[in-house]
Amino acid sequence: MNNFTTQNKLALGTVQFGIDYGINSGVKVNKNEVIKIINCARNNGINLLDTAQLYGTSEEVLGDVNTQDFDVVSKTRGFDKGVITEKVASLVISDLNQSLKLLRRESLYALLVHHGEDLLRTGGEMIFNQLQILREEGLVKKIGVSAYIDNQLIDIIDNFDIDIIQIPMNIFDRRLIDNGLLQKIHSKKIEIHTRSVFLQGLLLMDKDKRPKKFDRWSGLWKYWYEWLADNNLSALEASIRYMISLPEISRVLVGVDNKEQFQKIINSVDGQIPSIPKELSTNDVDLLNPGNWGDL
């Protein structure tokens, strides 16, 4: 059993600042609450914010509430094209300039390709070339990709010299550990940021509030609740401490609806986490990928 007290791995995801998001509440956070959340991050030594052009007004909100003392990661648009041309790829630079204007910053910590598969399209290397130009000019310190766990992940890390990769991972989703990819990415000195640590809030839901369509994994849920009770842990404590405990992970992104929720997450980092039994995981993408939930 290991004891973890680090908070500096935590990073604040800001999708809820710009759009309605998440299975728990689907609430877009109002500006006054955003200020409280940002101050909470600042007061607890959390110094990285994750946003994106596709997060509605998130970048604009972050610019309005004085976040210049934070590192910021943003992401490109989605390039919904079969073939990437030079003209399309050049949007990376114009879009970044727009993001910098909204964020009221001169540079970013990192810019990621929002949809990893865009790099693998015909001409996708031109998008990467634009990112490299931005890094060389000092407009971004690091470049990288937001990706899903599938064959694209291997293609990306084998073919592109990225600094950061953002991937979904949580206590139920340990595919990258089991297949050795997490260690492979880490060995390439790529900074690993994880998202979906709470599976969009599903892991934290009271069993009586969880939508019935998730009952097909009733055995997994039963084991989860019994394991938590046996170890005197809340779902929040187990979920966040597990991710923080992984040495390969640089940042664990969390999204919140209000300051109290954020403070509760921060407070839950400190403490012990036992070894995680194999039974407490699944490879079923119908559960692990929220994009599939609409078809359940």
CA distance 11 to 50: 7
pLDDT at 240: 97
CA distance 193 to 252: 6
In the structure encoding, which two tokens stand for residue 247, read together? 């040495």
The answer, yes or no, to whether residue 46 has pLDDT greater than 70, is yes
Task: Report the DSSP beta bridge partners of residue 182.
Answer: none
SS (H, E, C) 30-42: CHHHHHHHHHHHH
The radius of gyration of the chain from alpha carbons, rounded to an integer in Å, stands at 19
Exposure of 8 in the CB half-sphere (CA atoms within 13 A): 3
Q: Specify the length of the chain in residues.
A: 296
Which pLDDT tens digit goes with each residue over 190-222? 999 999 999 989 999 998 999 999 999 999 999
Q: What is the pTM of this model?
A: 0.92
Look up the CATH number of the domain holding residue 154: 3.20.20.100
Phi and psi at residue 2, in whole multiples of 5°?
-110, 155
CA torsion, ordered 261, 194, 31, 109, to nearest 10 deg = 140
For the chain, give the percent of residues with pLDDT over 90.
Answer: 75
The answer, yes or no, to whether residue 25 has pLDDT greater than 70, is no
Residue position matching structure tokens 């084998």: 158
In the structure encoding, which two tokens stand for residue 77, read together? 């648009």
The answer, yes or no, to whether residue 23 has pLDDT greater than 50, is no
In the chain, the number of structural domains is 1
The answer, yes or no, to whether residue 7 has pLDDT greater than 70, is no
Q: What is the mean pLDDT of residues 22-26?
A: 50
Mean pLDDT of all residues in the chain?
91
CA distance 159 to 53: 25
- Print the domain residue range for 112: 2-295
